[in-house]
């Protein structure tokens, strides 16, 4: 696979970074992941805006212009992909190379940029049948709204879920369900969609926001207010939203069956609306 590293397009086995890059030694950087449909980047402007916000919040001096589109196009061509491939595009930007020190370097280094484009198919079994998830303590830092590359807490939570026979985990902070390990989460009760508000406790998902727009189009009431763990038994439906999984139904949380244990009608309706949008604007 050909990847992009600091202005060079190289085979991934030949791609190198300086060991003093702050992204490597301090996880000092931000990233974005993009879903590709029919060769086109989904919600490009929304992703760019969030990417720039993350960089600004981390005080990384880098202004995103047209490099996302340019690097994506070059990687698409160099890897001989076609519009038939289901692709995922990843890009991260770090503060750059500097002596290891918690304080920012006095002389602003050149930012480090890495990107790759790879095949990533949607999990149709999970999409059609739903998944079982568990709750996990939300022991991350208090700036989950920044899409930074420091993800070890998310990785541990995901692996903990897998080790215990679940597909994913839902973070719980003071009894409140915040989000998934790499997704946002929504619940349905009496035809109303509930999801955690866009605070510092969650990442403001591009797919999350798109689904909320679909709710408005389908006259589904949205309440941006979190669900507590003790309310799980009363939920009719639940699903995760994310770049790679779109809308993934949840049929069970811990030992609690959601609704009747099958994919709910509103979840299916939103999935259908999602596909209608893609067919209209990407195919």
Together in a domain, 100 and 131: no
Is this model's pTM higher than 0.95 or not? yes
Sorting pLDDT into bands at 50, 70 and 90, what band is 178? very high
Together in a domain, 136 and 27: no
Q: Please write the tens of the pLDDT for every residue from 54-83.
A: 999 999 999 999 999 999 999 999 999 999
Mean pLDDT of the chain: 98
Together in a domain, 166 and 98: no
Q: Give the domain CATH number at 92.
A: 3.30.470.10
* Cβ 88 vs Cβ 75: under 8 Å: no
Phi, psi at residue 279, to the nearest 5°?
Answer: -65, -30
CA angle 211, 213, 219 (to 5 degrees): 100
Together in a domain, 257 and 134: yes
Distance of alpha carbon 61 from alpha carbon 21, whole angstroms = 15
* Domain end call among 119, 153, 168: 119
Sorting pLDDT into bands at 50, 70 and 90, what band is 138? very high
Kindly state the percentage of the chain with pLDDT values over 70. Answer: 100
Domain count, the chain: 2
Together in a domain, 111 and 179: no
Q: Give the domain CATH number at 242.
A: 3.20.10.10
Distance of alpha carbon 137 from alpha carbon 160, whole angstroms = 11
* Domain end call among 119, 135, 150: 119
Together in a domain, 90 and 161: no
Structural domain including 18 reads 2-119
Together in a domain, 105 and 150: no
Q: Tokens 């290891």 belong to which residue? A: 100
Which residues form the catalytic set?
147
Together in a domain, 34 and 93: yes
What's residue 111's pLDDT?
Answer: 98
Q: Please write the tens of the pLDDT for every residue from 255-268.
A: 999 999 999 999 99
Q: Which residues contact 230 (CB under 8 A, 6 or more apart)?
A: 175
Sorting pLDDT into bands at 50, 70 and 90, what band is 228? very high
Together in a domain, 221 and 267: yes
What's residue 56's pLDDT?
Answer: 98
* Domain end call among 119, 139, 162: 119
Together in a domain, 61 and 131: no
Together in a domain, 34 and 97: yes
Average pLDDT over residues 161-189: 98
What's residue 241's pLDDT?
Answer: 98
What's residue 282's pLDDT?
Answer: 96
Q: Are strands 176-180 and 184-189 parallel, antiparallel or unpaired?
A: unpaired
Q: Please write the tens of the pLDDT for every residue from 159-170.
A: 999 999 999 999
What's residue 225's pLDDT?
Answer: 95
* Cβ 131 vs Cβ 167: under 8 Å: yes
Least confident of 90-94, 105-109, 186-190, 193-197: 105-109
Together in a domain, 174 and 128: yes
Distance of alpha carbon 174 from alpha carbon 137, whole angstroms = 9
What's residue 75's pLDDT?
Answer: 98
């Amino acid at each position: 696979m050909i990847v992009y590293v600091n202005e060079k397009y190289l085979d991934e086995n030949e791609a190198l970074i300086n060991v003093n890059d702050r992204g490597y030694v301090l996880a000092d950087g931000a990233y974005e992941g993009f879903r590709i449909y029919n060769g086109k980047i989904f919600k490009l402007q929304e992703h760019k805006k969030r990417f720039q916000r993350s960089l600004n919040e981390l005080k990384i001096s880098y202004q995103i212009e047209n490099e996302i589109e340019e690097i994506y196009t070059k990687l698409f061509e160099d890897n001989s992909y076609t519009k038939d491939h289901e692709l995922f595009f990843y890009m991260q930007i770090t503060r750059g190379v500097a002596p290891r020190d918690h304080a920012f370097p006095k002389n602003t280094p050149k930012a480090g940029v890495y990107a790759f484009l790879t095949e990533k198919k949607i999990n149709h079994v999970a999409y059609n049948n739903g998944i079982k998830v568990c709750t996990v303590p939300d022991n991350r830092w208090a700036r989950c709204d920044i899409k930074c590359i420091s993800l070890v807490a998310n990785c541990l939570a995901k692996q903990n879920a897998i080790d215990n026979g679940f597909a994913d985990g839902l973070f719980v902070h003071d009894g409140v369900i915040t989000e998934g390990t790499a997704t946002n989460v929504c619940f349905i009760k009496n035809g109303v969609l509930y999801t955690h508000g866009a605070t510092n406790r969650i990442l403001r998902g591009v797919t999350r926001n798109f689904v909320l727009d679909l709710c408005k189009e389908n006259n589904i009431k949205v309440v941006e207010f979190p669900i507590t763990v003790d309310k799980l038994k009363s939920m009719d439906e639940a699903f995760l939203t994310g770049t790679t999984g779109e809308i993934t139904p949840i049929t069970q949380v811990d030992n609690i069956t959601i609704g009747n244990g099958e994919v709910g009608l509103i979840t299916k309706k939103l999935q259908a609306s999602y596909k209608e949008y893609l067919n209209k604007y990407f195919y």
